[in-house]
Amino acid sequence: MHPGTAVDPGPAGPVTAAAGLLAAAVYLSAAARLRRRGDAWPRWRDASFTAGGASLAWAAVGSSPGGPFTAHMVQHLVAGMFAPLLFVLASPVTLALRALAPGAGRRALLALAHSRGAGWLLFPPLAALLDAGGLWLLYRTGLFATAREVPWLHVLVHLHVMAAGLLFTFSVCGLDPVRRRWSPRLRGAMLLAAGAAHAALARSLYAAGPPGTAFSASDLHTGAQVMYYGGDLAEAALAVVLAGSWYAATGRARTRRARADRNGTGGHAPRRDVKVG
Amino acid sequence: MSAPARPPAVPAARPEQRRSMVVCAVIGAAVMAAVDEIVFHQILGWHHFYDRSTSGVGLLSDGLLHTAELLALVVGFFLFADLRRRRALAPAHARAGFLLGLGLFQLFDGIVDHKLLRLHQIRYGVDVTPYDWAWNLGGLALLLTGVALAVRAARRPGAAE
C-alpha cells in the first residue's frame, strides 16, 4: 500500500454531497412552511441544519490539507461527529412531525420514532457500542487497509461512520421525541465511555497506524492529533448540550412548581437536591 | 427529561454547603487536570500525547481520565450555575471545595499515575526526584489549604445545615 493512493470511491462522494444539500433544502422548506402557518421555529435551527448539510457535502467532495491519513481523519471527524451534531441540534424529527400534514406519512414517521427497533438502537449503551466499536474495528483490524482497495467497502465504511455518529449523537442529545428518553446520567456515562474509547484509539494511532497501511510518521501523528483534539471538541459540545438541557429542564420544573405554589394548587414536595446524570 | 428534579418551591436563600463543596471540588479537579494537560503536555512538552502507556489498560485509563476531565468541567459549571440560580451557593464551602479538588487531583496524578501505574513521568532524561517532590508537595499544600478553609467554613456561625 503506497501512502498516496487513496481509493476512488466512484460516484459515492457526489451522491453524498447531493444528499446533504438536498436534506438541508427539505429542512429549510419545512421550516418555511411552519412559519407561513404562523408557528414559531427558531432560525438558529435552520442555520444549524444547513451547516450540517454543507459540511457533509464538503467532507464528501472537498479536499482537506495534509497527508492522506490526516485528510481521511478530517473527513471522518466532519462526517461522523460534527455534521451529525449540527443535524441533531436542529431537532429534525420534531420539525417533520409538525410540518407533515396528518395522514399516512406522518403516521409512518411517528410509528418509526416510537417503534421498538428505534428504541433499541437509541438505547445509549448500544449506540455508543456501535459508534466506538465500529471505529476500533476499522482502525485496529485489516478493515481500513481493505477498504482502501475495495470501493464498495469504502462506501459502506463511510456510511457506517456517518450513521453510527448520527445515532450516537441523537441518543446522547435526546432532543427529539422518540420511544423513550433516557436519564441524563445514563447518557452522560455513555458519552464518557465512548469519549474514552475514542481518545484511547487516537492515542494508539499516534504510535501505530492501522494494520496493513504505511503512512508516514508525520502524517500519522497529525491525523491522530486531529482525531484526539477534534474528538474533544465534539465531545465537549455534546456535554454542553446534555448539561444545558438538564439545566433548562430543571429550571422549567422549578418555575412550574413556584407558580403552582403561588396559586396554592401545588402539592408540597419534600425538599430534595436536584441530581444530575 | 426524566431526572426527578425537585428544587424548592419557594426560592429561599438557603445555602447547601456540602453540595457547594462537592460541585466546586469537581471543578477544581477538572481545572488541575486541564492545567496539567495544557502546561506540561502541550506547552512544555515534558510528557507527551503518547507516552510509555503501551499496555491497553494504561491507554484506556489515560483516555478515560482525559475524557472525564472534560465532562467534569462542563457538568461542574452547570451544577455551579444551578446552585447560583437557586441561591444555594455557600461561598466559603465552595472555595474550600475548589482547593480540595485541585490538591486531590494533583496528588492523585503524582502518586497513582506517575508512581503506581507509571503512565508517564513528569520529565524524561533527567533526575525526576525534584520534580516529583515539587509536584506532590504542591498538591499537598493545595489540599491542606482546602482542608483549612473547610474547617474554617464549618466553624462559621450558622454553619450547621
Nearest chain A Cα distance for residue B73, angstroms: 9
Cβ–Cβ below 8 Å for B62 and A276: no
Taking CA atoms, what residue in B is nearest to A271?
B8
Side-chain-side CA neighbours of residue B119 (13 Å): 21
Taking CA atoms, what residue in B is nearest to A250?
B5
Cβ–Cβ below 8 Å for A196 and B63: yes
> Which residues make Cβ contacts (< 8 Å) with residue A246, sequence separation at least 6?
A184, A276, A277, B1, B3, B78
Nearest chain A Cα distance for residue B31, angstroms: 14
Cβ–Cβ below 8 Å for A199 and B85: no
Q: Name the residue facing A250 among B7, B50, B63 (closest C-beta).
A: B7
User: pLDDT band at residue B1, thresholds of 50, 70 and 90?
Assistant: very low
C-beta of residue A89 within 8 angstroms of C-beta of residue A95 = no
Cβ–Cβ below 8 Å for A277 and B6: no
Nearest chain A Cα distance for residue B14, angstroms: 11
Looking up cell 431526572 gives: B3
Local structure of residue B55 (DSSP, 8 states): S
The CA-based diameter of chain B, rounded to the nearest angstrom, is 61
Per-residue pLDDT of chain A (277 residues; tens, 9 = 90+): 343 445 566 678 888 899 999 999 999 999 999 999 999 999 999 999 999 999 999 988 887 778 899 999 999 999 999 999 999 999 999 999 999 988 898 999 999 999 999 999 999 999 999 999 999 999 998 898 888 888 888 889 989 999 999 999 999 998 888 888 899 999 999 999 999 999 889 888 888 889 888 888 889 989 998 999 899 899 999 999 999 999 999 999 988 988 888 887 545 555 454 444 4
Q: Name the residue facing B63 among A203, A247, A272 (closest C-beta).
A: A203
Nearest chain A Cα distance for residue B36, angstroms: 16
* Helix (DSSP H) and strand (DSSP E) numbers for chain A: 13, 0
A198 vs B contacts (CB less than 8 Å): 63, 67
B2-32 tens-digit pLDDT: 555 555 555 556 788 899 999 999 999 999 9
A59-A61-A66 Cα angle (round to 5)? 65
Nearest chain B Cα distance for residue A4, angstroms: 26
Q: How many CB pairs under 8 A join A and B?
A: 127
CB-count burial class (<10 Å; 0-12, 13-18, 19+) for B129: exposed
Taking all residues of chain B, what is their mean pLDDT, rounded to a whole number?
A: 80
Cβ–Cβ below 8 Å for A206 and B50: yes
pTM: 0.83
Q: Is the ipTM of this complex over 0.85?
A: no
Is A237's Cβ below 8 Å from some Cβ in B? no
pLDDT (0 to 100) of residue A3: 39
Is B6's Cβ below 8 Å from some Cβ in A? yes
Cβ–Cβ below 8 Å for A191 and B71: yes
